[in-house]
Amino acid sequence: MDLKELKKIADALDDSGKQELIYFLQSRTKAMTTPIRLIDEIQEQKHKEGLNCPHCNSHSVVRFGKYGIKTRNGEVKRQRYRCKSCHQTFNALSNTPLQRTRKPHLWVRFIECMIEGFSLRKCAELLHDEVTHVTLFYWRHKILAALKQIPTVPF
């Protein structure tokens, strides 16, 4: 099968089928670097004025090992930290909606699905059943709670 035949088949799809094809192709071709870079951006923005403990707000923090996030393309190591004052450990995602999520690399695609207005079951299907619709229910509520905390300016 050549590219012309594939284009004809894609043109014959309805809008929902085309959207599903787009998500499928993106998941197969796009490396997981974009979501990982997004997590790095969250860390930079959160700690741009210096690293501080989310538990006691102390600035006496040291590195405390690494932990792995398993992605489709392997494992990404993330830095853990420990506060010298309260001895609590934390990471870059502490006190963010991504805290304690097992697959943060899927959040970008899930948010895209939410924007498109897909149901949770359809989102789970488009994410190739890497997470269940029940997990997506909790993710959606984490996102909505985070959006409520953003200050809005009345017009």
CB contact set of 57 (below 8 Å; sequence gap of 6+): none
d(CA 65, CA 81) in angstroms, rounded, equals 7
Find the radius of gyration of the CA atoms of the chain. 19
Higher-scoring residue by pLDDT: 37, 145: 145
Q: By C-alpha distance, which of 39, 35, 9, 15 is closest to 117?
A: 15
- Domain range summary for the chain, segments of one domain joined by +: 24-44+53-147
0.75 exceeded by pTM:
no
Distance between CA 115 and CA 64 in Å, rounded?
Answer: 37
What is the band of 1 on the pLDDT scale with cuts at 50, 70, 90?
low
Residue 31, pLDDT > 50, answer no
Classify residue 12 by its DSSP letter: T
Read off the pLDDT of residues 42-63 as tens digits, 9 standing for 90 and up. Answer: 667 666 777 889 899 898 999 9
Degrees, nearest 5: CA angle 149-84-86: 60
Give the 3-state secondary structure of 44-110: HHHCCCCCCCCCCCCCCEEEEEEEEEEECCEEEEEEEEEECCCCCEEECCCCCCCCCCCCHHHHHHH
Q: Is the pLDDT of residue 93 over 50?
A: yes
pLDDT tens across 121-145, in order? 999 999 887 899 999 999 999 989 8
